[in-house]
Each structure stands twice: as C-alpha cells, then as structure tokens.
Amino acid sequence: MSFSWPWALVALLAFPALLAFRWWTRRRRRREAVRLSSLTLIRAALPGRSSWRRRIPIWLFAIGLIALGTGAARPQASMRVPKNAASILLAIDVSQSMCSTDVQPNRITAAQEAARTFIKAQDDEARIGLVAFAGIAGLLVEPTSDKRELLAAIDGLKTSRGTAIGMAILASVDAIAEVNPAVPPTGVSLPAATPDGEFEPDTIVVLTDGRNTQGVDPVAAAQQAAARKLRVYTIGFGTTNPAASVCTADQLGGDATAGDRPRFGGGGPGAGRNFRQLDEQTLTTVADSTGGEYFKAEDAEELGEVLLDLPKAMTFQRQDVELTVWFALVGALLVAGAVGLAQWWNRTTVPSVARAAPTP
C-alpha cells in the first residue's frame, strides 16, 4: 500500500495523544478524590477497574482515529483491473492472401468465425475494438461493449492488396489512446521502453497470415506500443501448403476480381509468389518486445482455441486504486460506535447506582 499524501500520517499522533490525555485525567482524578460518607456508595457508583465495558469504547475510538488518520494520507492499493475496465483491440489481416483455401473454406472465413466466437464469449461489459488492415489499416469499430456492432463489422470484412502490420499496430494504439487518457497517441514522442514493469490494461491482438509488405515496420510500431506500456499479442494463421485462393464476391474489395481462380502470380496455387509465407520471426519479436506472446494457428480449430484462450494469457496489470473513502467510512463508524456505546452504557449504570444508594 502506498500514500499520495504521506505527510498527512502525522494525524496518527492523535492516538498516542488520546492515551496521554486519558492517563492525565485518571491521575488528576485520583488527586482530587472527594470524601464521601458511605464507602458502600462509592463502590456501587464506580465500576471495577477491569470492567471490559470501560475499555471497549476507548479502544474503538482509538482505532477509529487511526483509520481516519490513515485515510487522510490518501492510501492506495495495487489491485487487478477488472475486464470491463480494459479494451482489447483486435486487428485482423484482410489482405488477398486471406482468400487461400489451405484453411477451409478459406482463411478469411475461418478468421471471421473465430472472431465471432471470441466476441460472443466475452463478458457483456468487455470493450473490444476492431481494426482491419491490408495495404492500409483502419479502425472499423472503436472499443465498445456493443457485440452486435462488432459482429456486423466482422461480417462486412473485405479483402484488399498489401499487408501493413505495422500500421495496424499504430492504428490500434491510437484507438486505445482515444479511450484511455494514460496512453498518448502515436504522434507523441516517448522514450524507448522495455517490456518489464507495469503495463496498461488495454491489449492489442494482431491476426495475420503473411508478412509486412508496406507501411511502417512492425518492430518499429511495436516499440511505439511498448513505450506506451501496451502489450501486443500476435497470431500467425495458415499453413505452408500451397492452395488456390478463392473468395466470394462479398469478401472481395474494389481492387480484387471475383471468381474461383488463383489471383496471385497467374500460375498454379502459390506459383512464383510467397504472399502466404508467414513471418514468424517478426511476429515473435513484436510480441516479445511489448510483453505479449506469439501464437501459431494452422487451421480454424486452432485459431478458435487461441482466441478463446487469449484472456487467460493476457495478464491484466495491477493499478493503484485509492482507498480513502473506505478508511474514512470505517473510521467514522468506529468513532460513532465508540461514542454510542459509551453513552448507552453510562446511561444504564445510573439506575444501578441509584438502587445501591441507602434509603434516607
């Protein structure tokens, strides 16, 4: 536990001051003893020194003062951030290589189904954002808990040319900066950071089947994320087996041609081109440099398992939560309870003293 105003802990001196005041009043009371004619009346009026009812109110009052004094210093405790306090940015590759049929019926359809399952499995309060990237990257849905909006955006994904993994990471960083004031946007220069230490609760997940072909270098973009204490988890999707590229008309963007023939290289499946070649080394470096993790999924089932297991892999970091209100509440209740008990017990002892007094 830490304190925002540690100097306010001087308020704890109220506790020893209270004990000193109690000791002084008791000593003064002994010095100013009054002679009474009836020793029986004195014994009846004064409870025994060891009576537990005399000690409970004073100790409750003292503990209450300690709680109030601690609260004045604004204590903070490091606690785990709940899921609904974090955002997950899901960046999905929609390059034309996602039309490859090495994963049935094709990669993009399998990725869409896995993303739908992942979104539906999250808590209703979980905030998820969606970024799609090919030659450029764009934010389709800002972090939201509206699953219908997310599912509609997933259904509307269309393929395009190019693969800009680095730009997808930067777009995700900016999307998080919009909802988390502690995360500066990418236009702000920050010193380089290591993946050690505390992270922001927000997380970026990049799903791709290829290698970066244009735009910002993914490792450089990962350094921007690391400087902002954002973890990036990467998923490499697809196999190394050549297969025809087939996408439906609904899955093709404006710069692609519909049909069931291969659309790359002009020859057979994978002829002369390495558009399906997965750059696992870069994806691993991106994840490691930000405190994340790299996963490999070669089919739809593995991809679904990876996405569903991601919340377990994401170690949501601890944040300092101020506990002042709780210390103030406990302290106030203890002080009020001490005063109330003292008043009540003093009230109930009056009749017993009266009964003990001799009748004139």
Q: What are the structure tokens assigned to 119, written together?
A: 């979104």
| HEC profile of 314-347 | CCCCEEEEECHHHHHHHHHHHHHHHHHHHHHHHH
* Closest C-alpha to 153, from 121, 116, 122: 116
pLDDT at 100 over 60: yes
Higher pLDDT, 135 or 15: 135
The pLDDT of residue 269:
37
The pLDDT of residue 305:
92
pLDDT digit string, tens, across residues 79-90: 655 445 679 999
* Closest C-alpha to 135, from 168, 155, 162: 162
Q: Count, in order, helices (H) and strands (E) of the chain.
A: 10, 9
Torsion angle (degrees, nearest 10) of CA 168, 173, 178, 179: 110
Residue 105: asked if its preceding bond is cis (omega within 30°), the reply is yes
Do residues 135 and 161 lie in contact, with contact meaning Cβ atoms separated by under 8 Å? yes
The pLDDT of residue 231:
93
Residue 260 pLDDT class (50, 70, 90 cuts): very low
The residues, ordered by sequence, that sit 6+ positions from 114 with a Cβ below 8 Å of its Cβ are: 300, 303, 304, 307
The pTM of this model reads: 0.64
Rounded mean pLDDT of 236-247?
Answer: 88
The pLDDT of residue 197:
66
Higher pLDDT, 253 or 40: 253
Residue in the structure block whose two tokens are 């902002």: 228
| HEC profile of 179-208 | HCCCCCCCCCCCCCCCCCCCCCCCEEEEEE
The pLDDT of residue 155:
95
What CA–CA distance (Å, rounded) separates 250 from 253?
Answer: 8
What residue ranges define each of the domains in the chain, with the CATH number in brackets? 2-78+322-356 (no CATH), 82-316 (3.40.50.410)
Number of Cβ within a 10 Å radius of residue 332: 14
The pLDDT of residue 234:
97
* Closest C-alpha to 174, from 186, 190, 182, 192: 186
pLDDT digit string, tens, across residues 200-211: 889 999 999 989
Rounded mean pLDDT of 230-248?
Answer: 90
Calculate Rg over the CA atoms of the chain: 34
Strand partners, 76: 2, 322
The pLDDT of residue 194:
62
pLDDT digit string, tens, across residues 304-354: 999 988 876 665 555 566 777 777 888 788 778 877 777 777 665 544 444
Rounded mean pLDDT of 48-66?
Answer: 69
Q: H or E element: which one contains 168?
A: helix 165-179
